[in-house]
Chain A
Amino acid sequence: MWPDPRVAPAAVSRRSADLLHGPSRTASVLARSPFGLYLGVGGTGRVLPLLSADALALPSALRLTTLAARELDWGVAVGGAVTVGGGEVLLPGMVVRAVRTWRPASVQAPSARSRPHDHPGTTPRPGGLPTLALTDALDPALRQEARAVTSAVLGAADPARGVRALVGRGPGLTPSGDDALCGVLLCLAATGPTAAREALAATVRAAAHRTTAVGASLLADAADGCGVREVVRLVDALVAGDHRCSGRLLPAVLALGHSSGADLLAGVWGALDALEALRLDAVDPVAS
């Protein structure tokens, strides 16, 4: 009646269910931390994050929801090979088996949002937020670039140059530029016209080879409106004009990663700057 201790139950993201339940493939370990492995699944160009219970729930992850990092020994190094498929990941000392599918958080599309928040008086106003703490945290250049990219797609201009400048820029597994672009993509998914959102998604896809496999995977998630729960909730709150809620969520997002949270917010703020400028244009041409 007791489960085999070598089999660990896990929950797979709906975004990766097809990959995990597909045929057996060899995957290589792209990166490793106490909190998880990033698996590059051979022949698919896709990345499957395999994460401990206490890791950030990345939108495409296979999550070991009952085992914390300190209880885990991945038993495989960067560059090592594991097998992915048939609903399982075979590690040297453990079988991770997906026993259910989880739905990653995704921002509310504009059509799903209830009407009252949509009148102009309550459109997002980043200026009304606790900016004091943020002034130091956000990279002004990154914010400006994010604004430019957003303005370009909203104005039906080609954002390719701006996107290329951001994708893959900066150190680490998830470069700063990618984080900022994720922020823009999430904001557009929550507010923007479908055409602008799709145009930016296509441009980002085309430039994805310029960044790490992990970065590309997170960009693909964001292009579909999916992100880490804390971030998604914050974007929802900002877009809904719920300043009390966003103020409460802000610290958690800023605390993400080494600088990922702040870079992501620079992207979100840049996108909101652009949207705000557009709104002022529409309401009062003199203001611009």
Chain B
Amino acid sequence: MTDHVELRRGHYADSVTLMALSRRAADLPGVGAAQVAMATDLNVELLVAMGFTVPADATPNDLVVALRCDTDAEVATAREALDAMLAELSAGGGSRTGFGEPPPARTVGGALRGVAATLALVSVPGPHATVEALDAVAAGVSAMVFSDNVPLEEEVALKEAAGRAGVLVMGPDCGTAVVGGVALGFANAVRPGPIGIVAASGTGAQQVMALLDAAGVGVSHCLGVGGRDLSAAVAGRSTRQALAALAADAATEAVVVVSKPPDPAVRADLETYAGGLGVPVHWATLGPGAPDLTAAVEAVLGGPRPWPSWTPPPEADGQVVEQPAQGASLRGLFCGGTLADEAMLIAQGELGGIPSNIPLAPDLALPADLATDGHAVIDFGDDRLTRGRPHPMIDPGLRLARVAGEARDPGCGVLLLDLVLGHGAHPDPGPALAEALRDARTTARAAGRRLPVVVSLVGTGADPQGLTRTAELLAGAGAHVFLSNARATRHALSLLPGAAGGAEDRPEPPRGRPAAARPEGRGGGRRLVLLDDDPVVVSAGVGLFADALRAQAVPVTEVEWRPPLPGTDADLVAVALDPRREEANALALDRLVSAGAELVDVRPASEALGLERGTFLHAGPPIDWERASGPLRGALIGAMLLEGLADTPEEAERTLARGEGVTLEPCHHRDAVGPMAGVVSPSMWVYELRDETHGNTSWCSLNEGLGKVLRYGAYGPEVLDRLRWMNGVLGPLLHQAVRARGPVDIRAVISQMLQMGDEGHNRNRAGSLMLLRELLPGLITADAPASDVAEAVRFCGANEHFFLNLGMPACKLATMAAHGIPGSTLVTTMARNGTDFGIRVSGTGDAWFTGPANTPEGLFLGAYGPEDANPDIGDSAITETAGIGGFAMAAAPAIVRFVGGDVPLALRTTQQMYAITLGEHPAHMVPVLEFRGTPTGIDVTAVVRTGILPQINTGMAGRVAGTGQVGAGLVRPPAECFTAALAELAGRARR
């Protein structure tokens, strides 16, 4: 026996698909057991119970492949086959995209940006469903939430939001709906007609639809509302919305509300509400003393009907009417919870309380092993029986085993079963059930017993499984088959020994108001796009649902959904429900993209920033000498020498280590930015940029060029000579030039350079030349020796990154404008100090959220290699924060020759960043994407939900102080910055 267990990190598929795949894998030759599942706690438990050892570091975002075979060779063969199946999965769905095409959306919100959908179908695991459904609500789109295990308070909040937005939330745990003739989830093929259904019960709604269909009456829409909607806590929130929508729907002439026993006060409130809608509303809400579903449908139809039934042929058992042994019990084995409820409500009138796994009263609960020697009704669709396996409407295995068990139990007098047909159900459940029933009856007969079987068969003539065919199969196996579950139950009771007889002829009289004539006006109704327009669906979760919709000729956009970053579920919900978020983010984005950026002056840092002697600014979040990286140390040493605070590098290092008279402070704390090490000392000259729109100012040092330069940690004599020349000659010249010319619009230069092949972070060629063009007249006419002017122009013109130090403060001005808006999840800073990567967020004030900086991957200069590279460093990621740089790579495909990768990567990167940004920049556009605005305004929640981290193009500094630049490449922030920021946002939202 050989066990093989492997983890596939980051590989995701939905549970329904994986269950099918596990089944296929288990059937492979030589495989004894197989399980392919996401490593959730539940699945790990299941795998351990199967005897597999699961690696301890497995997370719910990892796919576990577990195989048990006799030999290693068989494992190898099975793995190969499994790989092929998994490859088939990832190739399916038609979601592959070609060159330059956008990647599939990763959230419902992302998908809704690209398509005018009428419905979002959410079937992701319960803890993630609320966030996806809220995306739909925020976009003004109704949602059907198939997912279960959604906390009650989330359901209430979600429905509150839907009410405010005027859309409908169907669910959570909504398995059945029909909208405009399209079946969603488990639903029957019904003819179009005048009856609208509001359903807090899936199988209940299917029973009502099947009966209406049999009576020749069609359905306009069946709107599910979730099983808890009529509870006291949820208070019928979605039922109200659904009633209002159906009242305003031209195709709907009467409405039926179907539910398990509702909260009486909620039911009464809803009745009052429905009374004002101007459309007759009937109540098929089960409960003691209330009419059963069949009676409720008959009330809609205006009188009793002869519902279809199928009797077993006499030759099947010698006689049609059977009587079981004295003292034997009713055993109901159900797939539909509401059908089980209805059977118990009817049966308890004759038999007293019926023990069940979904009891009508707590004292009637069956033991966990579901053993019984009396009457019992078991719902095999109950959550506890569907953990880790498909619903019994799809996988009948568990129930068929129980049928065989009942056949051997002398205490079983009558078997009562339901069978639900329609879309979503097993493609052909009749033959297996018929065979099981035939076997059961044979077993009983061999033991000298009679075992009558009654089946309530819920379906329509148009269902793909075939109603009549299935009914005849079951009757042929000896079952009494009824379309009405109530009739089936009463018939089963009549077959019990000592039955009063004739029970089935005495249906409960309908209660409720008679169908009033429809008044002219429908004052309370409210039209819903979902019912008005032909369906266009966005689907997140189970792939089979999307397939089922495509088969019904419904346009579907599938979300390539993945679980969010681990441990963030509750925080994501809290932030998604923060009522300030939408407006705060809209405001933050608006401020970000509307910020101006004009170069107004060039001055020494001591003057512009008030920088005192001994104070050094640096890039990234706060850090001390102890933890500072090589390049930052090198730059600080150089600055000490430049300022005359030390005579030798060694002395500078000692002073810095002691910290005497030296203060280190992030540039960002002074509204400044610095590339790479970002070290600014008092004598250095800085650009001064103004955003007149928001009244902000930002500063940045002058660019020294590439190679051995201070910002990359070099501090040799040539570095210091250059800096002295910049302080003495270049700075004052630029000062004169800017003063002479007047403000230079840097934001406009950025917009233009993106159209000329720059991305504004690691490619600044066009920007640098355009800036020089603006400054040249002022430089030429400056009061300085011609040789100085010539040297300054030569220096600026030869430096392709000359513009970077202007683009960065321009971006800083944009993000400054967006900062400090309570509730906003927009990232306003991304910066690194060579040790830590830190972010700041608009809605969390001055707090930094940090994690260890990653080391870029890319191309190296000369003989340098990956081992020479220092972790990510510099404030230059402010460009990506403001929507250019890595985010605008598609505008600068030539950048890949500098940072690595290929042209498709450049295009894909920009396309991908739209998934994590709040909007598009109105002025900075990408020509190759049809002048689409660059993805702008990183959203913390989007990063956490998609796991897509911002792409940063960056230079690489040498690890050892004094080295300088070693290359350029691509890097992403550590995920924990974003999860920590989210936790803070969630904490503030909860306060």
Interface residues of A (CB under 8 A from B): 3, 9-11, 53, 57, 63-66, 98-103, 105, 111-112, 114-115, 229
Contacts and interface: CB of A to CB of B under 8 A. Distances in A.
A53 B552 contact: no
Contact of A66 (B192, B533, B553): B553
A100 B550 CA distance: 11
B521 interface: yes
5 contacts: A65-B554, A100-B181, A102-B181, A102-B534, A111-B520
Contacts of B593: none
A63 B555 CA distance: 10
Contacts of B181: 100-102
A112 B532 CA distance: 14
Contacts of A111: 520
B517 interface: no
Nearest to A101: B181
Given A101-B192, A103-B251, A229-B533, A63 B553 contact: yes
B947 interface: no
A99 B554 CA distance: 10
B182 interface: yes
B552 A9 contact: yes
Contact of B534 (A3, A10, A11, A99): A11
Contacts of B532: 105
B556 A66 contact: yes
Interface of B: 180-182, 192, 250-251, 520-521, 523, 532-534, 550-556
Nearest to A104: B534
A103 B181 CA distance: 9
Given A101-B181, A101-B192, A57 B534 contact: yes
Contacts of B523: 114
A111 B250 CA distance: 11
Contacts of B182: 100
Contact of B553 (A9, A105, A114, A115): A9
B551 A9 contact: yes
Contacts of A53: 555
The 3 nearest A-B residue pairs measured at CB? A9-B553, A11-B553, A102-B534
Given A112-B250, A114-B523, A103 B534 contact: yes
Contacts of A57: 534
A250 B908 CA distance: 34
Contacts of A11: 534, 553-554
Given A57-B534, A105-B533, A99 B553 contact: yes
Q: Is the interface of A mostly helix, strand, loop or mixed?
A: mixed
B551 A99 contact: yes
Nearest to B536: A65
Contacts of B550: 9, 66
Contacts of A105: 532-533
A130 to B, nearest CB: 21
Nearest to B535: A102
Contacts of B180: 102-103
B251 to A, nearest CB: 7
B555 A65 contact: yes
A252 to B, nearest CB: 10
Given A114-B523, A115-B521, A99 B552 contact: yes
A114 B550 CA distance: 36
Given A11-B534, A100-B553, A115-B521, 12 more contacts: A3-B551, A9-B552, A9-B553, A53-B555, A64-B553, A65-B555, A66-B550, A100-B552, A101-B192, A102-B181, A111-B520, A229-B534
A123 to B, nearest CB: 19
A9 B556 CA distance: 13
A102 B299 CA distance: 30
A130 B591 CA distance: 28
Contacts of A115: 521
A132 to B, nearest CB: 22
A245 to B, nearest CB: 13
A131 B364 CA distance: 71
Contacts of A66: 550, 553-556
Q: Which of A64, A112, A115 is the most central at the interface, judged by chain B CB atoms within 10 Å of its CB?
A: A112
A111 B556 CA distance: 35
B322 to A, nearest CB: 39
Contacts of B551: 3, 9, 99
Nearest to A103: B180
A65 B553 contact: yes
A103 B552 CA distance: 14
Contacts of A10: 553
Contacts of B520: 111
Contacts of B534: 11, 57, 102-103, 229
A66 to B, nearest CB: 5
A111 B533 CA distance: 20
Contacts of A102: 180-181, 534
B834 to A, nearest CB: 49
A111 B278 CA distance: 14
Contacts of A63: 553
Contacts of A101: 181, 192
A99 B535 CA distance: 14
